Amino acid sequence: MKKKTNFKLHFPSHLSFLLLISFFIGFCSCEQKQHSISSHGGLTEQEVLYIKQRQLLYYRDEFGDRGEKVTVDPSLVFENPRLRNAYIALQAWKQAILSDPSNYTGDWVGSEVCNYTGVFCAPAPDNKKIRTVAGIDLNHGDIAGYLPEELGLLTDLALFHINTNRFCGTVPHKFINLKILFELDLSNNRFAGKFPEVILRLPKLKFLDLRFNEFEGTVPKELFDKDLDAIFINHNRFRFNIPDNFGNSPVSVIVLANNNFHGCVPSSLGNMTGLEEIILMHNGLRSCLPEEIGLLKNLTVFDVSFNELLGPLPDSIGGMVSLEQLNVAHNRLSGNIPASICQLPNLQNFTFAYNYFTGEPPVCLGLQDFDDRRNCLPDRPLQRNAVQCKSFLSKPVDCGSFRLIGVSYASPPPPPFY
């Protein structure tokens, strides 16, 4: 297992939630509410109208509110107007919940929204005299449903954590109103469709976790110009070429694993000097590793395994002084392993199996944990056979030719290597 990441996040002082991250994946479909239709074959006009309205409610575009209208009982007394708005948002959400096996929302009744399970209030940032909803945490609720547009009424929300549920649909457009949202964790749900662009317009967002969903299409390149501290978008269906502005991202952790990313490992990576963990495994990256990665002095985890990387490991990796875990396995790398890598003071685990390396300095054999299987290393056990090695190594690798591929979204994929 990988070392646990220490997020250097600056939580708003009044909040102290634990970040619960889980890889549990549930099973359910995004069911819709059933309603009774008369059994005598044909539909009455009323029924047709009802169905049409239902469909409108569900499928009106993302600017509309999909929930049923919330009416506020005039006898309810609220501490302040913001909590009244929160009531509307949370009641709309409750109506958009189709299954709540642990009854988290069972107590979402009445005007005391700060007492609702999973809802956390704090003094408003702009008016300490009033309370307002600052956080939502329904992690591990196994709840099925969708997010209604009314959630945009929670304008003082700093944290929104709903990981490990069965929410589906898209991210409401009205999230644009969450101007101080700091952490957004939608991981391990059933969200689908394009990258939720509204996220790019949340000025205070630092922590973005969309992993384990069904998002698809490209990832907007603006994501990497945003002042985020952590980006987790692994295990989705995103597909794009890693853009050149990738290196503009000030993140300390970025995980893009298990998508369908193509193109190069960009040399701009060298600009991400605050980076501590980067995991690009299981994508379709095809390039040499840029020299510039040696500039990442704070990086502890570098995982580019299961891609189509070529060429040698740059000597400069020997300058990544914080490196603890290095995984370049299952690529098409070749050449000699630089001794400087195996001499890195903090290196614990160096995995480079399933490549075509031809030289391994003795110092590497002294590492705590390493995996050098299935290479072309003389005198090492469990290597590829001579025919395979000869055939692969007879083809020259021109690292220069890959530099340009990542630049253009439109360029066709390069011809297969073999």
Closest CB to ligand NAG among 351 and 355?
Answer: 351
Residues numbered 354-373 forming contacts with ligand NAG, rule: CB under 6 A: 369
Query: Number of helices and strands (H, E) in the chain?
Result: 4, 23
The smaller minimum CB distance to ligand NAG, of residues 58 and 78, is found at 78
Binding residue for ligand NAG (CB under 6 A) from 65, 183, 185, 292? 292
Question: Exposure pattern of 179-213 as b/e (b: 16+ CB <10 Å)?
Answer: ebbbbbbbbbbbbeeebbebbeebeebbbbbbbbb
Distance CA 7, CA 268 (A): 23
Shortest spacing between CB 295 and ligand NAG, in angstroms: 9
What are residue 160's DSSP bridge partners? 136, 184
Instruction: Choose between 31 and 107: whose C-beta lies nearer to ligand NAG.
Output: 107
How many CB atoms lie under 10 A from the CB of residue 407? 14
From the list 180, 82, 177, the residue with the least C-alpha distance to 130 is: 82
Determine how many CB atoms are found less than 10 A away from the CB of residue 11.
17
Is 267 a binding residue for ligand NAG by CB under 6 A? The answer is: yes
Contact mark string toward ligand NAG, 268..287, x via CB under 6 A? x-xx-xx-------------
Instruction: Map residues 70-109 to x or -, x wherever contact with ligand NAG holds by CB under 6 A.
Output: ---------------------------------x--xx--
Nearer to ligand NAG, 119 or 186 (CB): 119
Nearest Cα residue to 316 out of 294, 300, 297, 299:
294
Q: Which range, of 227-235, 263-271, 308-316, 375-383, touches ligand NAG by CB under 6 A?
A: 263-271
For ligand NAG, the binding residue among 79, 112, 142, 225 (CB under 6 A) is: 112
Cβ of residue 130: shortest distance to ligand NAG, in angstroms?
A: 16
Burial class (CB in 10 A: 0-12, 13-18, 19+), 15: middle
Does residue 203 interact with ligand NAG by CB under 6 A? Answer: no
Q: What are phi and psi of 144, to 5 degrees?
A: -105, 145
Rounded CA gap, 308 and 392, in Å?
13
Which of the ranges 69-77, 188-196, 265-273, 310-318 carries the binding residues for ligand NAG, by CB under 6 A?
265-273
Nearest CB to ligand NAG, comparing residues 171 and 231? 231
Q: Which tokens in the block code for residue 108?
A: 């979402």
What is the binding site for ligand NAG (CB under 6 A)? 103, 106-107, 112, 115, 247, 267-268, 270-271, 273-274, 292, 298, 327, 349, 351, 369
